[in-house]
Amino acid sequence: MNRTLAAALATASLALAGPAGAATVFSDNFNSETLATNGSLSNWNISNGTIDVIGGVSFYNFYPGNGNYLDLDGSTQNAGRIETKLPLAFTIGQTYTLSFNYGRNGSSAESMTFGVTGGNLSQLFALPAGGTVPFSFFSVDFVATSASGNIFFDHAGGDQQGIVLDNVLLASVDTAVVPVPAALPLLLTGLLGLGAIARRRKA
Ligand SMILES: [Ca+2]
Ligand SMILES: [Ca+2]
Ligand SMILES: [Ca+2]
């Protein structure tokens, strides 16, 4: 195979691979929120109780290096529910990934329900009683069943120490098979033909 043909085929296979990856629908690292017990949030409504915005440099900073984050059980003996203020748009049938980092304030067993309203996703998340929880990553895939929904985290209990939440990310998953452009097979046939001619000339 001559060099021009090899280069052309390499370009063609790159085009066949197509664009990969995911598109972010929503993300929040809470780093611009104001540190406070029973704090408020820019992107989320808080109901049914309270949350604490902690971390920073020295405000109950259990997980240094992660800026600000939340303790979903605030300081009023009644853990809160947070829900994104703006509804997010979904394509029904499309796969999405909801992920977040978590930890724990304290060592008691904790649980929350989280998901996406509109019937898209609702799941229990629990930490058994034990020692310190390292700053960890959790991710779940779901297929959207409703065109609109809000992300929520709804913590149970109320002993003022709860699940720590950071880096909430919702992204669409690229599961589609990238269609081959109509002209490409024709181009490949042409290139292979050129290769055959080149081979015949050499022989
Ligand atoms: Ca953070
Ligand atoms: Ca708390
Ligand atoms: Ca608790």
pTM of the model: 0.78
Exposed / middle / buried, residue 130 (Cβ in 10 Å: 0-12, 13-18, 19+): exposed
Q: What's the gap in Å between 109 CA and the centre of ligand 3?
A: 7
pLDDT, tens digit (0-9, with 9 covering 90-100), for 178-202: 555 666 555 556 656 655 555 666 5
Ligand at shortest distance from the CA of 73: 2
> What does the angle CA 137 – CA 88 – CA 175 come to, to the nearest 5 degrees?
65
- Domains recognised in the chain with CATH numbers: 21-177 (2.60.120.200)
Q: What's the gap in Å between 148 CA and the centre of ligand 1?
A: 26
d(CA 110, CA 112): 7
CB within 8 Å of 187: residues ≥ 6 apart: 12
Residue 73 has pLDDT above 70, yes or no: yes
pLDDT tier, 174 (very low <50, low <70, confident <90, very high otherwise): confident
- Joined together, the tokens standing for residue 60 give 């109950």
Ligand at shortest distance from the CA of 158: 3
Ligand at shortest distance from the CA of 166: 1
> What does the angle CA 170 – CA 176 – CA 180 come to, to the nearest 5 degrees?
145
3 state DSSP class of 17: helix
Q: What's the gap in Å between 35 CA and the centre of ligand 2?
A: 12
pLDDT at 196: 59
Q: What's the gap in Å between 19 CA and the centre of ligand 2?
A: 43
Ligand at shortest distance from the CA of 163: 3
Q: Which stretches does DSSP call E strand in the chain? A: 23-28, 44-47, 52-55, 68-71, 81-84, 88-89, 95-104, 110-116, 121-127, 136-143, 148-149, 151-155, 163-172
**Strand bridging mode 136-143 / 88-89:** unpaired
pLDDT, tens digit (0-9, with 9 covering 90-100), for 5-54: 555 555 444 444 444 568 999 999 999 999 999 999 999 999 999 999 99
pLDDT at 128: 97
pLDDT at 4: 57
3 state DSSP class of 54: strand
d(CA 190, CA 192): 5
pLDDT, tens digit (0-9, with 9 covering 90-100), for 111-161: 999 999 999 999 999 999 998 999 999 999 999 999 999 999 999 999 999
Q: What's the gap in Å between 106 CA and the centre of ligand 2?
A: 9
Q: What's the gap in Å between 36 CA and the centre of ligand 1?
A: 14
Q: What's the gap in Å between 200 CA and the centre of ligand 3?
A: 78
